[in-house]
């Protein structure tokens, strides 16, 4: 298709970019890391969402090429940040079914010179479920090298609490569907409260996604949620703007 060809060309021409969104410690609003988010604007097609082109690359079998370019760029950008800040990078479900993913990821960040202990990989429950043995093996290898693993979009899809016990995660990212309703509906508040309590007990860190205003931020702080992310703290911006943002903090 036209879209597929345009994407293939954009990867070759190095036109798929990566933006960064801050993740903060909700106790003092300090930045603790950034999530890398793929961005592509085609000359003819205009802006194309990663929600469209990531699945396309998976389906057509070139997610590895795309993801490699994105991780390399993200790791190179992260080298310029203060060393205590982590880089969080999304892995797609196809990558979690491919046993060579762990070696690939470690070799890409190794070449870039990024300490694996500064890398976090975001994976979804759906991705884990497809082939749980392969996913577990990939995650075990990455964690042995110091990479942390977070469970993305938690609370949506087919959440199984048993997976939180049996699978080795370091962090849970609460889906923004809960956060966006937390100021208006008590049931979302109770759900987030329960997730925070459960994660405390399981020694998992918690990030609330999609915080858009101060009332959501205050509510999440009051619920004891450790970390937050969302437009209220910062929209995803390119590597240069990320450095400017950091200059205002350090
Ligand atoms: O940034 P935005 O909300 O448009 O992202 C849409 C979706 O695309 C999200 O689910 C996000 O996780 C995913 N996404 C963004 N960048 C990447 C990437 O580099 N790799 C993968 N696998 N998914 C990404
Ligand atoms: O699936 P994942 O959680 O990786 O997707 C993150 C997506 O959420 C990104 O596309 C990012 O652009 C988007 N996002 C980040 N913060 C906010 C926010 O505060 N509000 C909304 N609506 N979207 C957000
Ligand atoms: Mn994510
Ligand atoms: Na998410």
Q: Which residues line ligand 2 (CB under 6 A)?
A: 21, 37, 90, 122, 152-153, 176, 209-212, 230-231, 236
Per-residue pLDDT of the chain (250 residues; tens, 9 = 90+): 899 999 999 999 999 999 999 999 999 999 999 999 999 999 999 999 999 999 999 999 999 999 999 999 999 999 999 999 999 999 999 999 999 999 999 999 999 999 999 999 999 988 888 889 999 999 999 999 999 999 999 988 776 788 888 888 999 999 999 999 998 889 999 999 999 999 999 999 999 999 999 999 999 999 999 999 999 999 999 999 999 999 998 8
Distance 210 CA to ligand 2 centre (A): 6
Nearest bound ligand to CA 233? 2
Nearest CA to ligand 1 atom 23: 90
Domains (range + CATH), the chain: 2-249 (3.20.20.450)
Name the burial class of residue 13, with classes exposed (0-12), middle (13-18) and buried (19+) by CB atoms within 10 angstroms of its CB. exposed
Please state the pTM of the whole predicted model: 0.97
For the CA of 51, the nearest atom of ligand 2: 10
Nearest CA to ligand 2 atom 16: 230
State which of 206, 210, 234, 237 you would mutate to test the pocket of ligand 2, scoring each by most atoms of that ligand within 8 A of its C-beta.
210
Nearest bound ligand to CA 38? 1
């Amino acid at each position: 298709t036209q879209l597929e060809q345009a994407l293939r060309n954009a990867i070759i021409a190095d036109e798929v970019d990566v933006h960064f969104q801050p993740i903060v410690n909700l106790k003092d609003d300090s930045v603790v890391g950034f999530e890398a988010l793929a961005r592509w604007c085609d000359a003819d097609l205009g802006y194309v969402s990663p929600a469209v082109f990531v699945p396309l690359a998976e389906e057509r079998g070139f997610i590895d090429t795309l993801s490699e370019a994105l991780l390399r760029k993200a790791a190179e950008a992260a080298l310029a940040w203060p060393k205590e800040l982590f880089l969080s990078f999304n892995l797609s479900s196809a990558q979690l079914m491919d046993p060579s993913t762990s070696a690939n990821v470690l070799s890409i960040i190794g070449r870039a010179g990024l300490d694996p202990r500064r890398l976090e990989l975001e994976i979804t429950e759906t991705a884990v479920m497809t082939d749980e043995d392969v996913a577990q093996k990939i995650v075990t290898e990455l964690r042995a090298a110091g990479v942390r693993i977070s469970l993305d979009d938690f609370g949506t899809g087919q959440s199984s609490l048993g997976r939180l016990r049996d699978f080795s995660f370091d962090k849970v990212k609460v889906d923004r569907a809960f956060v966006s309703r937390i100021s208006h509906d008590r049931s979302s508040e109770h759900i987030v409260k329960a997730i925070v309590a459960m994660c405390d007990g399981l020694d998992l860190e918690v990030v609330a996604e999609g915080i858009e205003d101060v009332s959501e931020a205050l509510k999440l702080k009051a619920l004891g949620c450790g970390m937050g992310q969302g437009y209220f703290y910062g929209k995803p911006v390119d590597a240069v703007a990320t450095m400017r943002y950091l200059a205002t903090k350090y």
